[in-house]
Structure 1
Amino acid sequence: MAWRDAKASRVRLLLFMASIILGIAAVVSIQLFGDNLKNNIQLQSKSLMGADYIIDTKQVPTQRAQEIIDSLQPDASEVNFVSMASFPNNEGTKLVRIRGLQGKFPFYGELETQPIEAASQYQSSGGALVDATLLLQYNIKPGDSIKIGEISLPITGALKAIPGNTAISTSVAPLVIIPQRFIEDTKLLQFGSRREYQFYYHQPQVDLVRLEAQLQPLLAVEEADLDTHTSTSSRLGRRYDNVGSFLNLTAFIALLLGCVGIASSVNIYIKEKIKAIAILKCLGASRKQSFLIFLIQIAGIGILGGFIGAALGVGLQELFPYILKEFLPFDLQLSISPQPILMGVFLGLVMSVLFALVPLLRTWYVSPLEVLRFSGDTLTESKNARRIAIGIILVFLYGFSFWLLKDWLFALAFMLGVLVSFALLAGTAILTIKLVKNFFPKTAQFTTRQSLLNLSRPNNQTVVLLVAIGLGTFLISTLYFTKDILLDKTEIDTSSKSANLIILDVQPDQIGEVAETFKSNDLPVLDNIPLVTMRMHSIKNKLVNKLRTDSTTQVKEWILNHEFRTTYRSELIASEEIAEGEWVASQSESDFVQISISDNLAKDAHLSLGDSIVFNVQGVLMETVVKSIRKVDWANLQLNFTIVFPEGVLEKAPQFNVLTTYAATEETSAVLQRDLVKKFPNVSVIDLRQVYTVVEDILDKVSWIINFMAFFSIFTGIIVLIGSVRTSKYQRIKESVLLRTLGAKNKQILTITALEYLFLGVLGSLIGILLALVSSFLLAFFVFKESFVPSLVPFLVFLPGISLLVVVIGLSNIREVLKSSPLEVLRKSA
């Protein structure tokens, strides 16, 4: 009976099935991609690092650290730092990351260059490997030269890839690789220069777990660190786990949306089968038999939908390496594992049955007397059975969310968020329908009045359609609004009062000449900020060296190993405000030093007002006390500091300076950078406009990925809409016949249908955008601590675009409605 009835209703059942296919495809593709990513990270863990393990330090290794490094016999070493480079052929300058390599690194993976032989020859020939994209930007070819500090080197080849590197990581400072023996000749590593020393080991036979357990505590005391390929790949895996969880939840929302469509469509489907079920019961069918007939149908389309969705998901996973390639540090090798595919089939079956369960319960309570009743819904359902069915659905959804997130609290928060979103959309839709029904002017034109009153007719799917349209619009609008918030936080003020060029590592004897270079280019010196480097010696009378080995300490590890760049000044800047305590502008050297720290440092180091910190300032211990805690806006693109000293204390300490200026045009900026690099090879110039462009580019890429996932929700909503139109087809034919019998013309019927779907499209997308506005405002206020100016894109593009799409889909069924004969329909009704 299930098979026979399904053949007669195959179009509807196929549309039910289509509602969940995309959601299943999204979940399966992301699960497959996640499995492949984990497998690739494990298989390529050595290629990601290029070695079995490395020891790194952000300062010249101490004597003890060097003894440990030498005892292990490193196979390669590296010094890397950020500096300016220039191209004499076209006078171009660029901030780059210099990596001075010695030895045959990498030992795993490949150093990819063009020409290929450049990777093996640059060490012996004394040339440089320059990022391929950078060469294209400046129209430079292998054979040309690059000037780094005091030396010029021939460009041996274009650098295409190196283990552990991504396109995003080189956006601000592209890579330049040179032989390590030339680093000293560049004269770039002066006082205050940030650099990193790395020592690579090719020792596959070593027990890495044991080695890390033995050496890490010893190296931590010497402010060095040991990383193995297994620990690095583990951290990378956890990072991509977070991305995978987000993508999984987005796909899960699309699947939920399709399931809501199934629940609504099955509800109407079962209502139309009431007479048939009553006849079956008159012929002796039991409750169980009538229930199983339709349960088997829904289970069948769920399994079939699961197979189709899983097959589609296998194809979709091929897209992810292209979508995420700039965020991945390796080439992804894809394979197909059975678990996600089986999960897709399981999801298709369970989700279809669960969400159809509530309307399917109606079949249990159909009375044989329904055959004799002409109209009206006289069914009485068990409220307890309905509650149990809804409870089972919620338990399953929470269980699946927990399986995706591996955290009960996050899963609960996600479930509550989904329920609140659905409730808000559905509640707003129901309230709007009631307002239209009760308060819409009865003097309005017939076509307008009839189209709006159709929203509350029997068997309407208005709420489901508004939820589907609204949720899709809500997701994609929230993305655009959030992107605006992030960009506003990083946007650079275009007024001449705000610096957009930062010159780093200016030595004290260079300040006058650098300022004169500004003046010769008609540019002002906006800031002259002194920087003093130091490390923490003790925190609240506890030595940092002991805290490093104390497993019970609550002080964050980064603080214990960090080299702080501090400054001194007499006043606050625009990006900070006092949260606790009092600001100290100046004091004499003889007074106890009173400092101001940022709120994030206070939180991570568990510091409060009055706590003592002893700093090691280039070998001199300085006792300080926390006098104030500042709230700092780190997203503001200017120089912010975790620690600020008052004037009168650090003036005689070894220091270097940072100067800032404002260049109105890119041409002016380029000329200044060229002049500075010629005169002062050691300084580095950061153009904040380029940083902003990189940030915007990264956000665009992230937005594209999220848009790609939001597509599943939007498209699922469209399928739910098409299913609704097809499900209510016969009902619309009956309404059309009645209207034509009363004298309505085809043009009026067409207008009524178009206005109804236009209202649905406008209301659904408007509700989605308004909810997105509210959520984005809350994000801006509570999370980003930023003012919110919404983008007009959702109002100008999404609102009319989605509304038009809804109207087109709604009218796709109208031709058959208009062509139906009144007599034919009336005979069917009789």
Structure 2
Amino acid sequence: MIFRLAIRELVRSWRFGLFFIFNLSLGLTGFVSLQAFNVTLQDELQKNAKNILSADLSVSARRELTQVEQDAMKSVLPAGTQTGRIYEFFAMMNSSKGSRLVMVKAVDESYPFYGSLQMSGGRNVTPGASKDIINTHNVWIYPELQQQMGLQVGDRMQIGKMDLEISDVVERDETQTFRMASLAPRVYVDMKLLPESGLIQFGSTFTQAYQFKFPEGTDGDKVKEQMYLKLTDPAISVNTPNSASEDSGRQLGYLSDYLGLVAIIALFMSALGAAYIYRMFLYSRMKEIAILRTLGLQSVQAVGVYVLQASLLGLLATIPTVAFSEIVLPILTKVLGSFTPFALKPTVSLEAWGLCLLMAVLGSFVVSLPFLMKIYDLKAAKLFSEEKFAVNEGKFRIWTFIPAILMFYGLSVQQAHSWKIGSAFAGSLVATIAILLVTGYFTLKFAGTLKSVKIWFFKFSFLGLSRRAGASLAVFVALGLGALLINILPQLKNSLQSDLQVDQKTALPSLFMFDIQDEQVPGIEKVLKDNQVDTLALSPMVRARILKVNGADYERKIEGQGFKTREEENEARFRNRGMNLSYRESLSDSEEIIAGRPITGNFDPEKQKLAELSVEQRFADRMNFKLGDKVVFDVQGIEVEGEIVNFRKVRWTSFQPNFFVLVQNGVLNDAPKTFIWALPTMTAEKRMVVQGELAQKFANVSVIDVVRTVDDALKTADKMSWSLELMAYLALFTGYIVLFSIVRSQIKLRRWEMNMLKILGASHREVAGFILTEFAFLALVSSFLGAFLSVGVSYGLNRVIFEGGFQFSLTQPLLSVAIITGLSLLISFLASADIVKESALSILREEK
């Protein structure tokens, strides 16, 4: 009987059902589209995992493995394992057409074990295929280098002491990971040329990787565990295809996380609209429910009818959700797919379908729950009184809102892959909504006091807003959130561009050099002096690894399988690596102490037992360091112990030579080290001259063009912002659907009121003006408040997450206020046009 009642009522109220379905599906679209994209991405990563790693197992470190470590590594390899080696490092490429930093990938005959490289000449370098760079002085280059430098096949170039000829261009590389903003394009050379190059020497920054291909049937994960037990140094990384694919997807994963958070806001606003629509539907059905109660229908059964209806509507909402996702997915793919080395063709998978069904059915139920409980408060006796049935009669049950709150909180944590970020997001959303609600409430109360307005329909509009506070607040919150969303991104972009912009007024470097040997410092100083270039900072860099913390052995963090938060991933990554230490007499202008005390001058071995350490705050958080912790480092085989005396905040966007850990001056001064050096702002012509001369005289020194790197980073940020803006506009569009549904519902409820106005002499234009004034006022105030809040949120994000300055732009917020207000007027007009034009006589003839 319950099912039959539910279906019959839905058929009778098909307009309500369609609008509920459309509203809910809009919020689900962004969510499901991202889920479909992520599922496809993970599937492709798994499918291409071996290609990306180009091996079954890889053991890598930013140093040469000792003979003992090599023997330990070989002892766990199964019989019949094939072995290869790779070196990767930055170096300067010099040619007749200029110089440029490149990422050198030196390979041997075995490369690649899996995957392939598609060359511009039409060749496909597959496993086992011959390579014309082996046993020759040939080089393969990436198309970026070809485009930037105007190089062609057959041109010659120098890398270190190697004189090389370009034999081909790599058009597609299945063995590479995501192509975000990179410091340098890649080139391939024969590993046997490295001794000739003079680039691999003490202090050089490089990564060496041993690649293994196992016999069929080998359990790679088991070999990895055994390898971890043999190679205890956290600086040695052991990767299988699965862990390599996770690392590959990490950068894109961060963007996907934040896109998911924006999609949650769209889902929230969609739920807000669905809840309001359902409230109005129940309001119109209360008398019928009361009649059924008098005929013997129990409260539980009555609630069951509408729970079933909400679930059915949620189920039906999945159909347009999938259809809308087919529109959004290609846009997401076009933007995000450009960062992947393989083509992505995402579709709404069974997993995405499952999520869509769960969110639709569960979401429909939790947003309707507060209103469904009102059925228990209905008194059948009221049927025979003159009082109207109202959905807001009865008790206020705060527990009915808890499932919705918990659902959105859980989604926030799940989408952010972080308890910290998810909680901060949920808290910020609650705080923002609270501000919008409180401000909206007082705004509506203030509107009710505007009785001195001369134009009558203006006065009537303001009084109407005050009387219908519930509906007005829903519009206020939806439009305020939409305005906040679309203004955050431009504000953040402006601030980041301002921080990264290199001009005469900033201290940002234009060139950044590393791998400088001790004996090369005087020669480089002479080159700079001859070119009349001052220096910003010369910083020593000492390789080390952590041995102990507070007397306990510092062990590597082995990453488990399954769901991991970003904090857990970061902790594992930072534990499983070596580090660079440095020392200086004072802090740079991009650093400030936020906890503890300054380091007390130079180290005095007669008075001090422990060196003093300064640690970057975020690194300290990831490593769970506290002030006063005692840390033992292994520096080239010698133990150095220090005590953490302060935490520093570092503005990394300054591009100054900064380090996670600074050691007190006088401790590491005699340790083997290299230097990094920053050069100040100079013209493009001078940068090319200096860079070319340094590349010719100091082949091992790598020079980063900071200006080019910043430009590349900003271009990548622009591409990413398209996907973020897509989700923001989807959220705003959902807000307009909420506005349309509320306006439409309110107009229907007030038809008799508008009819009376027409009978009293009001024209259609004045009635329309009365309605439009209400919603124009709401849109203007809410969009202005949302834009204002976006400035505060952008400031907080920029200061806390990006640790940069804040560049306020007035144009974007004001423009958004004007656009949102104008669109709100248009939506309100479209929602009310047909009812406003109805004749008073036709309404009077209707049965009340």
- TM-score greater than 0.5 by the shorter chain: yes
Cα RMSD for the two superposed structures: 4.0
CA distance in 2, matches of 1:503, 1:812: 62
1:80 aligns with 2:88: yes
Kindly indicate whether the alpha-carbon contact (under 8 Å) linking 1:84 and 1:685 is maintained by their aligned counterparts in 2.
yes
TM-score of the superposed pair, with normalisation by structure 1: 0.86
Deviation at 1:102, TM superposition (A): 0.6
Q: Secondary structure at the match of 2:133?
A: helix
Task: Show the 5 A alignment for 1:379-398.
Answer: 381-383=393-395, 386-387=397-398, 389-391=400-402, 393-394=404-405
Deviation at 1:415, TM superposition (A): 5.5
Q: Which residue in 1 is equivalent to 2:196?
A: 185
Deviation at 1:81, TM superposition (A): 0.6
1:521 aligns with 2:525: no
Q: Which residue in 2 is equivalent to 1:705?
A: 723
Structure-2 change in CA distance of 1:50 and 1:749 (3 Å): same
Q: Which residue in 1 is equivalent to 2:337?
A: 325
Which amino acid counterpart does residue 348 of structure 1 have in structure 2? A
Q: 1:721 aligns with which of 733, 739, 745?
A: 739
Deviation track 1:424-458 (CA, whole Å, cap 9, x = no partner) reads 333322221112113x2514432432332232345
Deviation at 1:638, TM superposition (A): 0.2
Q: Secondary structure at the match of 1:178?
A: strand
Deviation at 1:799, TM superposition (A): 1.5
Deviation at 1:691, TM superposition (A): 2.7
Aligned residues: 820
Q: Which residue in 1 is equivalent to 2:103?
A: 97
CA distance in 2, matches of 1:534, 1:280: 78
Which amino acid counterpart does residue 580 of structure 1 have in structure 2? G
1:122 aligns with 2:138: no
TM-score of the superposed pair, with normalisation by structure 2: 0.85
Kindly indicate whether the alpha-carbon contact (under 8 Å) linking 1:219 and 1:225 is maintained by their aligned counterparts in 2.
no
1:585 aligns with 2:601: yes
Task: Show the 5 A alignment for 1:590-609.
Answer: 594-600=611-617, 604=623, 606=625, 608-609=627-628
Task: Show the 5 A alignment for 1:416-435.
Answer: 418-435=429-446
Deviation at 1:374, TM superposition (A): 6.5
Deviation track 1:387-440 (CA, whole Å, cap 9, x = no partner) reads 5644554566567667767888987776655544433333322221112113x2
Structure 2 unaligned residues grouped into runs of 5+: 560-567
CA distance in 1, matches of 2:574, 2:307: 61
Q: Which residue in 1 is equivalent to 2:562?
A: none
1:109 aligns with 2:93: no
Q: Secondary structure at the match of 1:660?
A: strand
Structure 1 unaligned residues grouped into runs of 5+: none
Task: Show the 5 A alignment for 1:70-469.
Answer: 74-88=82-96, 91-117=97-123, 119=125, 120-124=130-134, 126-169=137-180, 171-205=182-216, 206-221=218-233, 224-233=236-245, 246-274=258-286, 298-313=310-325, 316-332=328-344, 334=346, 337-360=349-372, 381-383=393-395, 386-387=397-398, 389-391=400-402, 393-394=404-405, 418-438=429-449, 440-458=450-468, 461-469=471-479
Kindly indicate whether the alpha-carbon contact (under 8 Å) linking 1:538 and 1:615 is maintained by their aligned counterparts in 2.
no
Q: Secondary structure at the match of 1:641?
A: coil
Q: Which residue in 1 is equivalent to 2:769?
A: 751
Structure-2 change in CA distance of 1:244 and 1:364 (3 Å): same
Q: Secondary structure at the match of 1:347?
A: helix
Q: Which residue in 2 is equivalent to 1:48?
A: 52
Deviation at 1:275, TM superposition (A): 5.6
Q: Which residue in 1 is equivalent to 2:33?
A: 29
After TM superposition, the structure 1 stretch with the greater mean CA deviation from structure 2, 792-801 or 364-373, is: 364-373
Q: Which residue in 2 is equivalent to 1:472?
A: 482
CA distance in 1, matches of 2:109, 2:664: 47
CA distance in 1, matches of 2:67, 2:178: 36
Q: 2:713 aligns with which of 695, 700, 710?
A: 695
Kindly indicate whether the alpha-carbon contact (under 8 Å) linking 2:656 and 2:678 is maintained by their aligned counterparts in 1.
no
Deviation at 1:747, TM superposition (A): 3.5
Which amino acid counterpart does residue 22 of structure 2 have in structure 1? A
Q: Secondary structure at the match of 1:75?
A: strand
After TM superposition, the structure 1 stretch with the greater mean CA deviation from structure 2, 427-436 or 577-586, is: 577-586
Which amino acid counterpart does residue 505 of structure 2 have in structure 1? S
Q: Secondary structure at the match of 2:761?
A: coil
Structure-2 change in CA distance of 1:679 and 1:256 (3 Å): same
CA distance in 1, matches of 2:303, 2:164: 81
Which amino acid counterpart does residue 591 of structure 2 have in structure 1? E
Structure-2 change in CA distance of 1:657 and 1:275 (3 Å): closer
Q: Secondary structure at the match of 2:157?
A: strand
CA distance in 1, matches of 2:658, 2:131: 43
Kindly indicate whether the alpha-carbon contact (under 8 Å) linking 2:57 and 2:224 is maintained by their aligned counterparts in 1.
no
Identity of aligned residues (%): 25
Structure-2 change in CA distance of 1:123 and 1:782 (3 Å): closer
Kindly indicate whether the alpha-carbon contact (under 8 Å) linking 2:511 and 2:679 is maintained by their aligned counterparts in 1.
yes
Q: Secondary structure at the match of 1:812?
A: helix
Deviation at 1:373, TM superposition (A): 6.3
Structure-2 change in CA distance of 1:204 and 1:331 (3 Å): farther
Deviation at 1:322, TM superposition (A): 2.9
After TM superposition, the structure 1 stretch with the greater mean CA deviation from structure 2, 269-278 or 29-38, is: 269-278
After TM superposition, the structure 1 stretch with the greater mean CA deviation from structure 2, 118-127 or 20-29, is: 118-127
After TM superposition, the structure 1 stretch with the greater mean CA deviation from structure 2, 163-172 or 761-770, is: 163-172
Kindly indicate whether the alpha-carbon contact (under 8 Å) linking 1:531 and 1:566 is maintained by their aligned counterparts in 2.
yes
Kindly indicate whether the alpha-carbon contact (under 8 Å) linking 1:129 and 1:158 is maintained by their aligned counterparts in 2.
yes
Structure-2 change in CA distance of 1:421 and 1:645 (3 Å): closer
Deviation at 1:130, TM superposition (A): 0.9
Deviation at 1:183, TM superposition (A): 2.0
After TM superposition, the structure 1 stretch with the greater mean CA deviation from structure 2, 235-244 or 814-823, is: 235-244
